[in-house]
Amino acid sequence: MRCPKCSGSMRTYDRNGVHIEQCENCRGIFLDYGELETLSRVESQWAQQQYTSPPSQHGGPAWGAPHHGQRGHHQQRSWVGMLFSS
Amino acid sequence: MTVLKDTRVTVVRAGDVVVKAHPEDTDEAALTARLRAAAELPGVLLPPLAVRAQRVAGRLVTLWPAGEPVDPSDPYAAPWEAAAVLLARLHDVPTGGLALPPAGGPARPARAVALLDGLDGAYAAPAGVIREAFHSLPPGATVTGPGAGRLTHGDWHLGQIVRYDGEWLLIDVDDLGAGTPAWDLARPAAWFATGFLSPDLWERFLAAYLGAGGSAVPHGDPWRELDVPARALTVQLAATAVAAAGAEGRPLDDVEQALVSSCGRIIRTAPQRGRVRPV
């Protein structure tokens, strides 16, 4: 197969069930019908695996403590001072 | 006469008047601009009794009406919503006509980390974690500047509101200025992220802020704006707490250890580009 852009020769790769033709000259990529959709689907599955459920309605940071608000009452007493000072 | 505070600043109450002696290195022009801003924002900031500071024994001194502070015995009963609404209103004020200096918030983490320098070797491990977390912050995150150019309190916590004449108002103009308003939400965000502040209190505070039109963070993804200042505030809180334990020569308590653990997670989740490794 010839590249539709520069007429270089194209080489076929198989990545996770997706056929990709790449031009050896200009590095352009040709996808068969439905292959772009397959890539999008694989990408969204990957994104879902990375996503962990947020600890609250407005989420939390990546570095947040694993158990928000689960501290004992004795601990709560000792951090209250921090609420009121610089 | 009652001494309310005696640290870098001294605050004394005499009858209906509160007298505040500011730190010795206070810039008089900056303080005057901040006093004027407080006088011009009724309903948001407690108005000073005089818009010029006086000099007493070399210290700048300001006079304020005495207000009623938040009851520290029950965090759940604290006026979280009222505080959030005050911050939302403050952040809505254009800084153009006020000729204010930059807000003081971003300068505080470095000052707190510097407190670790004189500590006993017994605190070397937590101090090292805190310093590395500080250096993992994005470049420029803790540089003083006008930031987003919005009116910002600069040092907000629950001790910074009082009830006066029936309404809650913000106090302490020492760090007031043009800045990035997410810094004013960063301390409660840091408390929440470290696990001290329960998700329901955090949600009450954030929902009230957003409901009042608060502009510091986007509705759908507040942590987009909160992440960096909350990391910085966590470093600041950890440094302040460990320095206090060091000054008293005692082991770290649960709260201090939790703050140091947060700093460890801050290092592990830092963007690689902003990370500076000790050589």
Spell out the residues 6+ positions from residue B117 whose beta carbon is closer than 8 angstroms to its own.
none
The residue in chain A having the minimum alpha-carbon distance to the alpha carbon of residue B5 is A85
**Which of B11, B196, B275 is the best residue to mutate to test the A interface, defined by the most A CB atoms within 10 Å of its own CB?**
B196
Cβ contact A82–B155 (<8 Å): no
The pair of three-digit structure tokens given for residue B226, joined into one six-digit string = 């909160």
Rounded CA separation A44/B37 (Å): 50
**Which of A52, A56, A57, A63 is the best residue to mutate to test the B interface, defined by the most B CB atoms within 10 Å of its own CB?**
A63
Cβ contact A69–B199 (<8 Å): yes
Smallest CA–CA distance, residue A61 to chain B, in Å, is 6
The residue in chain A having the minimum alpha-carbon distance to the alpha carbon of residue B195 is A68
User: Closest partner residue to A58 among B155, B222, B254, by Cβ?
Assistant: B222
List the domain boundaries for chain B: 1-66, 69-274
Return the closest-CA partner of residue B16 out of B65, B55, B70: B65
List the domain boundaries for chain A: 1-48
Q: Provide DSSP, chain A.
A: -B-TTT--BEEEEEETTEEEEEETTT--EEE-TTHHHHHHHHHHHHHHHH----SSTT---TT--SSTT---HHHHHHHHHHHT--
β-pairing, B2-6 vs A29-31, is unpaired
**Surface-to-core class of residue B100, CB atoms within 10 Å of its CB (0-12 exposed, 13-18 middle, 19+ buried):** buried
Question: What CATH architecture does domain A1-48 belong to?
Answer: Roll (3.10)
The pLDDT, as a whole number, for residue B273 is 52
Q: Is A65 on the interface with B (CB under 8 A)?
A: yes
What is the SS3 assignment for B21? Answer: strand
The residue in chain A having the minimum alpha-carbon distance to the alpha carbon of residue B162 is A84
Chain A hits for B266, Cβ within 8 Å: 63
Q: Provide DSSP, B52-69.
A: S-EEETTEEEEEEE--EE
Output the CA–CA distances (angstroms, integers) from residue B119 to A82, B72, B73, B113, B144, in the order listed.
Answer: 21, 30, 32, 11, 26
Output the CA–CA distances (angstroms, integers) from residue B159 to B20, B181, B265, in the order listed.
Answer: 15, 18, 28
Rounded CA separation B155/B173 (Å): 9
pLDDT in tens, chain B (279 residues): 888 888 889 999 999 999 999 999 999 999 999 999 999 999 999 999 999 999 999 999 999 999 999 998 888 899 999 999 999 999 999 888 888 999 999 999 999 999 999 899 999 999 999 999 999 999 888 888 788 889 999 999 999 999 999 999 999 999 999 999 999 999 999 999 999 998 999 999 999 999 999 999 999 899 999 999 999 999 999 999 999 999 999 999 999 999 999 999 999 999 765 445 544
pLDDT tens-place string over residues A28-74: 888 888 888 887 877 777 666 554 444 456 889 999 987 544 444 44
The pair of three-digit structure tokens given for residue B218, joined into one six-digit string = 């986007």
Taking a C-beta distance cutoff of 8 angstroms, is the pair B122, B77 a contact? no
Instruction: Classify each residue of B139-170 as buried b or exposed e, where b means 16 or more C-beta atoms within 10 Å of its C-beta.
Output: eebbebebbbebbbbbbbbbbbbbebeeebbb
The pLDDT, as a whole number, for residue A72 is 46
Residue B47: CB atoms within 10 A of its CB come to: 17
Cβ contact A61–B254 (<8 Å): no
CATH class of B69-274: alpha beta
Cβ contact B75–A84 (<8 Å): no
The residue in chain B having the minimum alpha-carbon distance to the alpha carbon of residue A67 is B195
Cβ contact B253–A78 (<8 Å): yes
Domain covering B1-66, topology: Phosphorylase Kinase; domain 1 (3.30.200)
Q: Is A67 on the interface with B (CB under 8 A)?
A: yes
Chain B hits for A77, Cβ within 8 Å: none
Size of interface A-B (CB pairs under 8 A): 101
The pLDDT, as a whole number, for residue A52 is 45
